[in-house]
Structure formats: C-alpha cells, structure tokens
Amino acid sequence: MYKFVVKGTAFSSVDPKKVNVYENYLFCISEKGSISKMIAPGETEYESIIQEYSNINKFQELTKGQYILPGFIDLHIHAPQWAQAGTALDLPLYEWLNTYTFPLEAKFADVQFAETVYANLVSNLIKNGTTTALYFATVHRESSLRLAEICSEQGQRGLVGKVVMDDLEQNPDYYRDETTALALEDTELFIQEVQELNKQTPQGVYPVVTPRFIPSCTDDALKGLGELAEKYDVHVQSHCSESDWAHSFVQERFGKNDAFALNDFGLLTEKAVMAHCGFLSDDDMALFAEKGTAVAHCPISNAYFGNAVTPIAKLLHDYQIETGLGSDISGGFSPSLFDNIRQAVMSSRMLEDGVDKDCCSEKRGVSGSSITLNEAFYLATAGGGDSLSLPIGKLAVDYAWDVQILDSKELPIFSDDEPLMDIFQKILYLSRPENIEEVWVQGRKVHDKNKTRLEGQK
C-alpha cells in the first residue's frame, strides 16, 4: 500500500553527464515519503495501479506542460545574511565581513529577530525549489536552534551549524564566542538539541560542526570541533581556500593549504562539505578525494570574493570529488539554484580555452574546463545528495520524494513534439520562481503556488 501515486514526466541525473527522462511514469510513494517503485508505461501493473489509487483519491496526474524535477539541494548558505542579500557586494571578503556581515550577524543574539529572518528565508527557499539546505547560522546557540526548528516546522530538510569563531584577535569583541571552552560546549549542546529535534522531524534536521573558516578559529577550537565531529558522527562544514586573502592567511599560519590544515584537525571527513575551494592544488584535490570530503561550488559568490572560477570539471572528472552547488547567500545574491546553475555553466566557460583555432595561435584558458547544463543540474541535485551522504537529489527507488513541479506554459515551446531534453534545457535556463507550482519534501507538500504566503515579510 502506497501513501499516494503520481503520474508525470520527470528529469533526473544518473551521473554528472547523463540526465534520464521518465516519460509518463508512475511514482509510487511510501508512507515514509520515499519512492517505493517507478513504473514505466506498458508495464503490467501500470493501468491497475492508476485505477486502484484513483478510486481511493490517492492519485495525482500532472497536467499538460507540468514536469517533475528533484528538489534542489543548497549546499552552502548563510541564513542570517538573507537580511542583506542583494546588497553590500562592493567590498572584498575581509572588509565585507568586518563592515557589513559581522555587525549583521551580531543582531541574531535577538532570537525574535532571528526568527523573523529565518522564517522568511526558509519559505523563500522552498518557493524557489530548494528542498534541502546546509546552513551556517550564527555563533548564537539559541537562535541557531530556532533555524533548525523553523526547517522542521516548514517541512524543509535542514542541516544547521552554530558557527564557531573563538579567536580573540581575529574576531570583533561584539561578535564571537566568549571563550574556546564555551564555543565547544555550545556546539556539543547544539548537536544534542538538534538530534533530539530530528526525532520528531520526518524529513530530517541535522546538526553540523561549523568552524567559520580557519582564520576565525584557534587551534584548540579546530581540534575540539574535529573531536566532536567524530564523537557524534555528524556533518562538518567550513570555507576552504576561498579568496587570495583567506588562502594566504592559512599558508602564513600553518605553512600549508587549508585542506591539509583542516585535515590535521580531523575536519576533512566523509561527511564534510567545504565551500568554494577556488584555490585547491592538485595535492589538495587528491586529499579531498581520499577523504571523501565534498566541495560546495558557489559560482555567483566566487565572482565577487574569489575573483576566480573553481575548476569544477577537474574536481568532478579528474579527481571524482563529490561536488554540489551552493547559493552562498549573501556572498551570492540569489537564493535560486536555477540562477546558480546558469552561473556555474557560464563561469566554467570563461575558464575554457577560448581560442578560435582558425584565427589565433595564442593559448588562453584551460581546455576541458567548461561544464554542461546537465553537469550543473547534477551539482544542484544528485551531487548535493552524494555530498551529504543522504538518499536525496535523484528520482530513484528508496530516494526521498523531494520534488518540484514546474509549469512550462510560459516558456517558448511552440510545438507538441518539442524534444523533452529541449524542454528540460528551457526549464533550467528560463524558469522563474513563479513557474514552480508545487514543492514536496519527504512525501509532504510544502509549497503550493496558489496557496502559499511568505512568512514574516514587512
């Protein structure tokens, strides 16, 4: 007995290069909200299941022009920075942190303020098709827990980190952990609280060990966080080799790159996700691959703070590093992974060897750098799921029913026999958030375009 059955046409990644089309399939969803069975037209049960589930009102058939995509997985986002999204992008990373971002994040000591911003962000992300997000909150344990609770209440799958910033010299007095010991105590308590909350959250909420980045943490904090990650077997997240400044700071402090320094503290684990990674060396990449650590690619943000393009094709194909896509709100201005998919493709093309062989001999760029739209879609879906070691991001048996239903009516489709893979490309390049009709997480509808109102906006 299934919870319900959906009939429709869906697109889902099989691997980074290949997207499968499931035309007019039946998706049979279990009571727990996962895909129990996928039935192709013509298979023996196809008609009888439609009959049976229509009779008991547990059958949904998509209308003409509607398509199913897996929900997006935002692999790197700063929840408090939603309050400054789209602004403050005129400074490089170090000055941006001190001028805009730390003063903003300090305000999240006020749980009420945090709640307003977080509730609005989570509903906005859901409306944009993001069914799972890996969040940085702030240093404050209580308001970080509110973020996890809001994900739980709104039905989004959330992985949330209380941020650790304990270095007295590198962080402002008005915004940091009071002491190293307190930073670690708060992190441990936060892990326990979120694990408790997870017990009553069908879609899952998970605590994440979150040193902001090496410059903001003492050696003792980094070591203690590595120990907590191991003790509780939880996810880890941080920033890694993001900008020239951050990268050279770590080189000066440890005489090595971020990857090896993080690894020394036990922070490069199978369940770790490192954001940006624009300046990884070949040795760093080999270490990521060996440890099973994932990269969160943030192509919009990298244009501002990295002034560089992360070599995604190399990470994916030369090193088989698990890689997903992050909005990096507010270093990236857009909460939409559609926008980030587009930027991922465009940025990679700027890294490509761009020389027209017929007219020029000068070498420019690196051949093999560009990624396809299929690959960028993979990053936003299946790649994110693999990075988090969760059964999400794909339409496959035993994967969660985390989907977005897109309406293609307003896209430039003028013929009834438009190839489905062309429709897929038009959806990815041209959809607006308004084209997302419904969003489902773990078999529950969390957004219906015709009913949803945004939370808490002034």
Site string for Fe ion, 256-285 (x = CB under 5 A): -------------------x----------
- The Cα-based distances of 206 to 183, 220, 292, 335 in angstroms read 19, 24, 19, 21
Helix H segments across 155-243? Answer: 180-198, 219-232
Q: Is the dihedral of CA 114, 117, 123, 124 positive or negative?
A: negative
Residue 419 CA to residue 426 CA, distance in Å, equals 11
Smallest separation, CB 351 to ligand GUN (Å): 20
Count of residues near ligand GUN by CB under 6 A = 12
Query: Which option in Fe ion, ligand GUN, none does residue 324 bind, with CB closer than 5 to 8 A by kind?
Result: none
Residue 144 CA to residue 380 CA, distance in Å, equals 25
Q: Which of residues 264-323 bind ligand GUN (CB under 6 A)?
A: 301, 305
Residue 388 CA to residue 255 CA, distance in Å, equals 30
Site string for ligand GUN, 231-270 (x = CB under 6 A): --------x--x----------------------------
Smallest separation, CB 239 to ligand GUN (Å): 4
Residue 297 CA to residue 295 CA, distance in Å, equals 6
- For residues 135 and 79, the answer to whether their CB atoms sit within 8 Å is yes
Nearer residue to Fe ion within complex by CB, 275 or 411: 275
Residue nearest to Fe ion (CB): 328
- 457 C-beta neighbours (distance < 10 Å), count: 10
Residue 374 CA to residue 172 CA, distance in Å, equals 43
Q: Which of 8, 80, 224, 331 binds ligand GUN (CB under 6 A)?
A: 331
DSSP letter for each residue of 360-419 = -----SBTT----HHHHHHHHTHHHHHHHTSS-SS-STTSB--EEEEE-TTSS---TT--
Q: Does 101 bind ligand GUN (CB under 6 A)?
A: yes
- DSSP-derived pairing of the beta strands 205-211 and 272-276: unpaired
Nearer residue to ligand GUN within complex by CB, 239 or 297: 239
Residue 313 CA to residue 344 CA, distance in Å, equals 11
Task: Using the rule CB under 6 A, give the single segment among 93-101, 363-371, 391-399, 405-413 that binds ligand GUN.
Answer: 93-101
What kind and span of H or E run contains 325?
strand 323-325
Smallest separation, CB 368 to ligand GUN (Å): 27
Task: Using the rule CB under 5 A, give the single segment among 264-272, 328-336, 418-426, 427-435 that binds Fe ion.
Answer: 328-336
Query: Which option in Fe ion, ligand GUN, none does residue 212 bind, with CB closer than 5 to 8 A by kind?
Result: ligand GUN
Residue nearest to ligand GUN (CB): 331
Nearer residue to Fe ion within complex by CB, 247 or 394: 247
Q: Does 328 bind Fe ion (CB under 5 A)?
A: yes
Query: Which option in Fe ion, ligand GUN, none does residue 305 bind, with CB closer than 5 to 8 A by kind?
Result: ligand GUN
Smallest separation, CB 87 to Fe ion (Å): 16
- For residues 406 and 50, the answer to whether their CB atoms sit within 8 Å is no
Smallest separation, CB 328 to ligand GUN (Å): 5
Smallest separation, CB 94 to ligand GUN (Å): 9
Tokens 């990857």 belong to 259
Residues near Fe ion (CB under 5 A): 275, 328
List interacting residues with ligand GUN (CB under 6 A): 78, 93, 97, 101, 212-213, 239, 242, 301, 305, 328, 331
